[in-house]
Every structure is written in structure tokens, then in C-alpha cells.
């Protein structure tokens, strides 16, 4: 019971902290800035992984100071282009939902933070090639690794749930306007948005595709929260002793 309550309490704290930093605390968005960049990293990795999954190539990843990013990929065919474009948009809510489902206790939260730190280091070695990215990615890896190694269990749990919430809300919050736009400013340059590029590749209107992306993101958020809130049994219920016969 204590484990279940701790997990739920951690989720409540994480949601409350995210909301307060976004809407109430002065300079709260500045505190959220590293986590916004972390969501950008997930977004761009989503593009790259989707490109590789469709037989393409992931050449490099750039993260900029304005929290935008760019994945340099190569694809063959319109379907592969569309999948690569949409992969980046779906990645933050998908990863957020997975973290909500997995990080349901202090031990799992610790493992989640450690694995995330390792993945950040791996992508730094393989793909990150922008000045801001070279600073941000190892800094985030150090923070998550430090938290996994030395933070006390309650703080680890809240941090893992907080990261999950910020990722799950990324498309719903920061990306809603982007999901419906035809252009995006990346590193100070105007480019075709992901949803517009995917819609052009598939021959459909971007509004339909953007609405579908937002719907999927909301569904992932709902699923992640539902799984995170479900009671979990850490041990099987005790067996009743057989009744004695006289």
C-alpha cells in the first residue's frame, strides 16, 4: 500500500510542480527551460529513429538556444518522409506516456533516470553536433545520472514523473500551434513544418493530419496517466490459513 501511495503522490507532486512553474512561479519557465530542451531532444531523436526504421539514415542532430531543433535525415519515398516527419511529433508524448507507465516507484524511477542519462550520452556521441546541443545534452545527462545515483527515493520518483509529464504534454501544449502550422522557425530560419511536409508527402491536408497528431498525443497522455494512477501490487495478497477441523 505504501508503494502505491508513494507512486500516486509523486505523480500529483509532479503535475502540481509543472503547473505552478508554467503559470504561477515567477521565472518558472526559465526553470522549465532545460526540460523543454530535453523534449526537443526527444522530438529530434524521434525523427532520426523513424528515418532509420524506414530504411533511411540519421546523420546528425542539432539543438538551438531557442528550444528548436533539427534532425538531419535521409529517406527514400513519400511514406518514409511522412513517417520520419511524424515520428518527431509523436515521440515526446509517446516517451512521456511510457515513462508514466514505467516509473511507478522509486526503484523504477531510478532505473528510468539512469537509462535516460545513458541514452543522452549515446546520442551525444553519435549525432549531436550543435554548440547548444553539446552543452545541453551532457548537462541533462549529468543531472539525471546524479539524481539516479544520489537523490533520495522520493525526489527521484517526483523527477521521473515530472519529466514524463513535461514530455507527455509537449505536443498538447507547446506543439499544438506547431501541429497546425505550415511553417516553423528553426534556429532562426523559417522552414516547412513537420506536419506540412508529412501532409505534402501523403497528399492530404495538414489540418487533418495535425488534428490526428493532437488526438494521438492526447490519447497517449490519457493512457499514461491512467496506467500511472492504477494501483499496483508489490506483492501477492496473503493466503488465508486453512480452517482447522476438529
pLDDT digits (tens, 9 = 90+) for 211-245: 999 899 889 989 998 988 887 654 445 555 555 44
Question: Which residues 6+ apart lie within 8 Å of 99 measured at CB?
Answer: 112, 160, 161, 163, 164, 167, 168, 224
> Per the domain annotation, does 119 fall within a domain?
yes
User: 14 lies in a domain?
Assistant: yes
Domain that holds residue 215: 2-229
Closest CA to 40 of 19, 48, 225: 48
- Does residue 244 lie in a domain region? no
Please say if the pLDDT value at position 94 is more than 70: yes
Total structural domains within the chain: 1
Q: What is the pLDDT of residues 188-209, one digit of tens each?
A: 899 999 999 999 999 999 999 9
Is 245 a domain residue? no
DSSP H helical ranges for the chain: 2-23, 28-53, 78-102, 106-126, 131-150, 153-168, 176-179, 194-202, 206-229
Q: Give the three-state DSSP class for 77.
A: coil
What is this structure's pTM? 0.89
Residue 71: CB atoms within 10 A of its CB come to 24
From 96, 92, 97, 95, select the one nearest 227 (Cα to Cα).
Answer: 97
pLDDT one-digit tens code per residue, 126-138: 999 999 999 999 9
Q: How far is CA 50 from CA 43, 199, 230, 242, in A?
A: 11, 16, 31, 56
Residue 49 in any domain: the answer is yes
Write out the DSSP string of 89-146.
HHHHHHHHHHHHHH--SHHHHHHHHHHHHHHHHHHHHHTB-SHHHHHHHHHHHHHHHH
pLDDT, one tens digit per residue, over 29-80 is 888 999 999 999 999 999 999 999 999 999 999 999 999 999 999 999 999 9
The tens digit of pLDDT for each residue in 134-160 reads: 999 999 999 999 999 999 999 999 999
Predicted confidence at residue 22, as pLDDT, reads 84
Q: Is residue 241 part of a domain?
A: no
Residue 72 within a domain: yes
On whether residue 234 sits in a domain, the answer given is: no
Q: Work out the number of other CB atoms within 10 angstroms of the CB of residue 5.
A: 10
Amino acid at each position: 500500500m505504501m508503494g502505491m501511495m508513494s507512486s500516486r503522490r509523486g505523480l500529483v507532486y509532479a503535475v502540481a510542480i509543472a503547473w505552478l512553474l508554467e503559470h504561477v512561479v515567477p521565472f518558472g519557465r526559465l526553470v522549465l527551460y532545460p526540460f523543454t530542451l530535453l523534449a526537443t531532444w526527444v522530438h529530434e531523436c524521434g525523427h532520426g529513429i523513424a528515418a532509420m526504421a524506414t530504411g533511411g539514415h540519421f546523420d546528425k542532430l542539432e539543438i538551438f538556444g531557442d528550444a528548436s531543433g533539427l534532425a538531419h535525415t535521409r529517406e527514400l519515398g513519400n511514406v518514409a518522409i511522412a513517417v520520419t516527419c511524424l515520428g518527431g511529433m509523436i515521440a515526446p508524448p509517446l516517451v512521456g506516456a511510457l515513462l508514466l507507465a514505467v516509473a511507478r516507484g522509486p526503484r523504477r524511477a531510478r532505473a528510468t533516470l539512469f537509462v535516460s542519462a545513458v541514452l543522452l550520452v549515446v546520442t551525444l556521441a553519435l549525432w549531436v553536433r550543435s554548440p547548444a546541443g553539446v552543452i545541453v545534452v551532457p548537462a541533462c545527462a549529468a543531472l539525471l545520472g546524479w539524481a539516479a545515483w544520489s537523490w533520495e527515493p522520493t525526489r527521484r520518483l517526483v523527477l521521473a514523473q515530472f519529466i514524463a509529464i513535461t514530455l507527455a504534454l509537449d505536443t498538447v501544449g507547446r506543439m499544438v500551434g506547431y501541429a497546425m502550422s505550415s511553417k516553423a522557425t528553426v534556429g532562426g530560419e523559417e522552414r516547412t513544418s513537420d506536419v506540412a511536409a508529412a501532409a505534402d508527402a501523403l497528399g492530404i491536408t495538414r489540418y487533418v493530419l495535425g488534428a490526428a497528431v493532437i488526438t494521438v498525443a492526447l490519447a497517449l497522455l490519457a493512457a499514461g496517466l491512467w496506467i500511472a494512477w492504477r494501483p499496483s501490487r508489490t506483492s501477492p495478497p496473503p493466503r488465508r490459513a486453512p480452517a482447522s477441523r476438529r
